[in-house]
């Protein structure tokens, strides 16, 4: 290849690269939350502030690992996680949030040192087929799912962030050994493996599994488009580990050079508009008090009675959970 050709190609390459959308003032968001839930709220933020947000969608733990690997060189300004655990795992890379933001949310729903903050609440529930499961078969505790009666009938998603947080909470509440034994007994009971929560709910409707362990807000989305959808959801008995109450949460990276814009995004997520969106469109539980709820929507407080008593700040050992899941052969 000759010089003229090469310089011509170089020019083409530069022109092509320059045309790529990568303006410097854009915020970069790592989102462990799914695109269908996140994209509308990001669009609303951009419309209101004029700040563009580039989103990298991936699994929550994948992004946590990525942040650790990237360290201070990360392009991310914000990390929006399915659970506080992944944020806890990268907490030393996060900036302290301004007081104006932290005071919007009760203390139990943010980091001890204010490096991450909840954006919405959710609960783990059990979903079941209305066609193949009757009332009497519903388990009282999540731990009962290892019984012979549930062999080959339970759907779960071991690679999903919410499931992994649930295991972290189990390790915290029941201890390492009991959690391992439960996992091994579950695996021996031949669960149906899915890659995410929506897949589980859809899979139960399609007859692949009869029960499923998911977050509370997935089923209502299916019911909204089809009231006859043959799946129902239920809680375990009060205080059972299966009823874990958790939050989606967000933090700003310490290395971000756009702290103000990033803080504006967090504040936007806690605004009445966004909280209302989470409650009514996503079927999550709001974390601020500024929201008017429908009568059939529970508040976080009303759910606390059913949930096990676990401090969200104690759930940062994602690494130990992944290690355990790998040891029992789920990853």
Partner 1 sequence: MIAGLAPARRRSAGQIALFAPALAVGALMLAPLFYLVLRALEADAATVVSLLLRPRTFELLVNTAALAAGVLVLTTLIALPLAWLTTRTDLPGRRILNVLAVLPLAVPGYVMAYALIGLSGNYGFMNAVFGVTLPRPEGWLGATLALSLYTYPYLYLNLRAAFSGLDQTLEESARALGCGPREVFTRVTLPHLMPAMMAGWLVIGLYTIGDFGAVALMRYEAFSYALYLAYSSAFDRLYAAWIALILVVIALAVVWWEARLRADVRLARTGSGSGVRTRRAALPPAARTAAYAFSGTVVLAALGLPIAVLSFWLLREPIWPVLPDLLRSFGQSLSVAAPASLLAALFALPIAVLAVRFPSPLSSLVNRLAFVGYAIPALAFALAFVFLALGGAPFLYQTYGLLVLVYALAFLALALGPIRAALYQARPSLEDSARALGYGPIGTFIHVVLPCIRRGVTAGLVLVFVVAMKELPIAFLLSPAGFRPLAIQLFSRTSEGMLIAAAPYAAAIIAFSGLTVAAVLRHEGRLE
Chain residues that interact with partner 1, rule: CB under 8 A: 1-2, 4-5, 9, 12-13, 16-17, 19-22, 26, 28-30, 34-36, 53-59, 61-62, 65, 68-70, 73, 75-76, 159, 164, 193-196, 198-199, 201-203, 205-208, 230, 318-319, 322-323, 325-326, 329, 331
CB of 276 to partner 1, least distance (A): 22
| Alpha helices, H only, the chain | 3-18, 35-49, 60-70, 84-89, 99-102, 161-174, 176-188, 197-205, 218-225, 259-269, 272-280, 300-304, 318-327
Question: How is residue 61 written in tokens?
Answer: 């733990």
Closest approach of Cβ 19 to partner 1, in Å?
7
Q: How far is the CB of 140 from partner 1 (least distance, A)?
A: 29
Count of residues making up the chain: 331
Task: Identify which of residues 227 and 301 has a Cβ nearer to partner 1 in the complex.
Answer: 227
- Whose Cβ is closer to partner 1: residue 164's or residue 306's? 164
Place of tokens 């994948």: 62
Displacement of CA 147 from its chain's centroid (Å): 28
User: Which residues have a Cβ under 8 Å from the Cβ of 14 and sit 6 or more positions away?
Assistant: none
Task: Give the dihedral sign, CA 83/89/95/99.
Answer: positive
Taking the least distance from each CB to partner 1, the nearer of 229 and 285 is: 229
Q: In the complex with partner 1, which residue's Cβ is closer, 196 or 243?
A: 196
User: Is the separation of the CB atoms in 189 and 146 below 8 Å?
Assistant: yes
**Smallest distance, partner 1 to C-beta of residue 248, A:** 17
| Residue 292 beta carbon to partner 1: minimum distance, rounded to whole angstroms | 28
Decide whether 53 or 125 has the Cβ nearer to partner 1: 53
């Amino acid at each position: 290849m000759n010089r003229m050709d090469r310089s011509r190609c170089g020019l083409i390459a530069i022109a092509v690269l320059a045309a790529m959308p990568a303006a410097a003032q854009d915020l970069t968001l790592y989102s462990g939350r799914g695109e269908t839930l996140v994209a509308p709220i990001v669009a609303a933020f951009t419309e209101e502030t004029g700040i563009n947000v580039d989103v990298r969608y991936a699994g929550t733990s994948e992004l946590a690992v990525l942040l650790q690997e990237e360290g201070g060189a990360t392009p991310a300004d914000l990390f929006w996680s399915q659970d506080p655990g992944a944020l806890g795992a990268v907490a030393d890379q996060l900036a302290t949030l301004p007081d104006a933001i932290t005071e919007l949310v009760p203390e139990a729903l943010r980091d001890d040192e204010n490096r991450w903050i909840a954006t919405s609440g959710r609960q783990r529930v059990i979903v079941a087929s209305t066609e193949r499961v009757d009332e009497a078969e519903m388990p009282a505790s999540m731990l009962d799912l290892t019984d012979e009666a549930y062999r080959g009938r339970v759907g779960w998603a071991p690679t999903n962030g919410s499931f992994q947080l649930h295991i972290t909470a189990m390790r915290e509440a029941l201890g390492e050994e009991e959690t391992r034994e439960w996992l091994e007994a579950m695996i021996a009971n031949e669960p149906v493996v899915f890659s995410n929560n929506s897949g589980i709910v859809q899979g139960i409707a399609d007859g692949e599994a009869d029960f499923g362990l998911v977050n509370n807000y997935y089923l209502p989305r299916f019911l909204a488009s089809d009231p006859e959808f043959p799946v129902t959801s239920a809680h375990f008995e009060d205080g059972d580990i299966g009823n874990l109450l958790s939050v989606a949460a967000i933090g700003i990276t310490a290395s971000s050079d756009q702290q103000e814009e990033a803080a504006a995004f967090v504040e936007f997520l806690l605004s009445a508009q966004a909280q209302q969106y989470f409650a009514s469109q996503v079927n999550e539980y709001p974390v601020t008090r500024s929201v008017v709820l429908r009568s059939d929507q529970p508040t976080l407080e009303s759910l606390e009675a059913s949930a096990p008593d676990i401090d969200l700040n104690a759930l940062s050992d994602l690494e130990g959970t992944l290690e355990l899941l790998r040891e029992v052969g789920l990853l």
